Amino acid sequence: MPFVNADDARIYWRGDGREDRPALLLGNSIGTDHSLWDSLIPDLTRSHRVLRFDMRGHGASDAPPGDYTIERLARDALAVAAAAGAPCFSYAGISLGGMVGMWLGIHAADRVDRLALCNTAAHLPPESWATRIAAVRGGGMGAIVDMVMGRFFSPAFVARGDARFATVRRTFLSLAPEGYIGCCAAIRDMDQRAALPLIKSATLVVAGALDQATPPSHGRAIAEKIAGAQYVELPCPHLPHFEARAEYVACLLDFLAGGSIASERERYDVGLARRKEVLGAGYVEARLANHSPLTDEFQNLITRYAWGEMWTRPTFDDRTRRLLVLAMMVANKSWEEFEMHLRAGLPRDISAAEVREVLLLAAIYCGVPAANTAFVHARKIVEEQANSSSSDIRNS
């Protein structure tokens, strides 16, 4: 497990994605650990090398006793970036992570490219945090867990009590009280309002319309003081990762990319790169080399819109989108496209077992004859790949 020493604490961090992508550092909220971002990682690693860490007092990081400060937590983040070999990075932080992001934007502007401040505040009433500290000192994490969960999530989400809710709740209860109190003190003593105009990085401010912990007024106040800041309000409570995931990742990725695609030429270039990523560079280059004046415009069209538009949308990961496309190809009886996506997807994105499940569902919803034909095509490709793998092993 990678750790970095930051003064009196070991800080846990991890990296996801390719080393040659620009770095994106993520900061989690108080009461959660780096796993808060798990559901977004497949989307974020498509364009970035993602760095995550546990705030001191959280997760696998040390929880030294005493009060912490936002500066101390931000310097931990800088230590993580240095350990990861990222002298310059974009940063996205939620709640306490956003407070750390503000400090970085104010005091380490040369390190921060783009800055996303999400469901956060530049200042909060210190009395409420003093009360929270007293409650944890008196009764441990269990004394406030239900109150905190009620601020993290909507009542409907809490009532469902699904596995995601259980995970966040269990993570909160596992925290060392000393570390949580230290971070509460950092928030209690923070006031970054006057320094916000010093932030010069391109900035996105995200607020949740249902957020009780940091209501939208806090987000609007931050955005108003940062020149050129974008402000987005989502239909969610304090943690958008769970109840507005699609909207959250879409606005975050759009911001990190610098905005919408500016031209059809750029859309084509993005689509071509995505097409090669999904189908394989060799296959795509062969198709493009076999061009004809009759089909050139069609190839350009599907590259721009099927690949530059649909396959770059963030809501579905590649596995889900691939399975959906296979099901639609069965319904349309488009067997050439079915084989193309199946060859490209096996075994990288999807497994033969998952394909079987899709085709069994297709037998019910698309008809047994269509599913029967699909199984014939799928079996051929699975056996071809198995024979190819066996041949590679024998020849190695």
Residues 339/301, Cβ–Cβ less than 8 Å? no
pLDDT tens-place values along the chain, 396 residues long: 699 999 989 999 999 999 999 999 999 999 999 999 999 999 999 899 999 999 999 999 999 999 999 999 999 999 999 999 999 999 999 999 999 999 999 999 999 999 999 999 999 999 999 999 999 999 999 999 999 999 999 999 999 999 999 999 999 999 999 999 999 999 999 999 999 999 999 999 999 999 999 999 999 999 999 999 999 999 999 999 999 999 999 999 999 988 655 688 888 998 999 999 999 999 999 988 888 889 889 999 999 999 998 998 888 888 999 999 999 999 999 999 999 999 999 988 899 999 999 999 999 999 999 999 999 999 999 999 888 766 665 565
The segment(s) of the chain belonging to CATH 3.40.50.1820 are 3-256
What whole-number distance in Å separates Cα of residue 314 and Cα of residue 244? 13
Specify the length of the chain in residues.
396
DSSP secondary structure string, 24-83?
Answer: EEEEPPTT--GGGGGGGHHHHTTTSEEEEEPPTTSTTS---SS---HHHHHHHHHHHHHH
Rg of the chain on CA atoms, in Å: 24
Residue 175 one-letter amino acid: L
Q: Which CATH architecture has domain 314-396?
A: Up-down Bundle (1.20)
User: Tokens standing for 47?
Assistant: 């364009």
Rounded Cα gap, residues 180 and 172, in angstroms: 9
Ramachandran sector of residue 57 (left: φ over 0; alpha: ψ -120 to 50; beta: rest): left
- Which residue from 38, 249, 243 is spatially nearest to 153, judged by alpha carbons? 243
Q: Specify the CATH number for 3-256; select among 3.40.50.300, 1.20.1530.20, 3.40.190.10, 3.40.50.1820.
A: 3.40.50.1820
Q: What is the pLDDT of residue 86?
A: 97
Cite the residue boundaries of each domain of the chain with CATH code 1.20.1290.10: 314-396
Token pair 């409650």: residue: 135
Amino acid at 81: A
Helices (H) and strands (E) in the chain, counts: 18, 8
Residue 305 is classified by DSSP as I
